[in-house]
Amino acid sequence: MTQPHTTRPSLGSYAVVAALTAVTALSACGGGARAEQPTCDEECYDVIALRAVREQMKVIFNLTLQGKPVGAYDITVPCPLGGRARIFGSATSNAEQGSTFVDLTYVVEACTLLQEDQDPKKSYRLTITGTLTQKGVLAVQPTSTSAVSIQSDALTVSGTVYEPPVPYEAAACVVRLGQNGSRISGDFCGRERTVDL
């Protein structure tokens, strides 16, 4: 009786099998590659801060005037995460157009706003101090478009922007912005900046 002939695999065969096993294992775990984190430079940091300033104004407006009848107002409220804000001026509504005409001044004293977002370019923890004016039309209904000017002669914004957090400081910042729809653009701390809300 003859023995069957067997061949032993070569060392090269073992190497190929090991390499294929490693590739398969890495593929099953997502390839081991990390998604690239978006980069953020000085302009990006300013845009995050600009977004925070506009959001802070929105929070203050909603805490004080949202749902109130039209007219003249002078209201001071605590900010949700510390500090306080005073808003005064007038707001008149046009129900047919779905808009509110505003001529308002915001006096913001160390109001902190925190936003954590999956998009690192929308994450911040900033404290805002200064006086801002807002004049124009705020959209209340989707059929209307916001068109307002936002100005300050000396706004201070400090804290962190981005994720992971990066320190941010803008002191005595001059603000000359226009909002058209969901886009805000203009001069922010001596630099031209644009943000889409």
pLDDT digits (tens, 9 = 90+) for 148-184: 999 999 999 999 999 999 999 999 999 999 999 999 9
> Please, what's the b/e burial string for 119-144 (b: 16 or more CB within 10 A of its CB; e: otherwise)?
ebbbbbbbbbbbebbbebbbbbeeeb
pLDDT(62) > 60: yes
Residues 6+ apart with CB under 8 A from 19: none
Span 78-84, average pLDDT: 97
pLDDT at 14 over 80: no
Distances (CA, A) of 135 to 81, 89, 108, 131, 149: 26, 10, 17, 13, 5
Give the 3-state secondary structure of residue 185: strand
Give the whole-angstrom CA distance, residue 137 versus residue 22. 61
CA torsion through residues 151, 154, 159, 161, sign: positive
Query: Would you state the pLDDT for residue 142?
Result: 79
- Residue 87: per-residue pLDDT: 98
Return the amino acid letter for 176: R
pLDDT-derived band at 93 (thresholds 50, 70, 90) equals confident
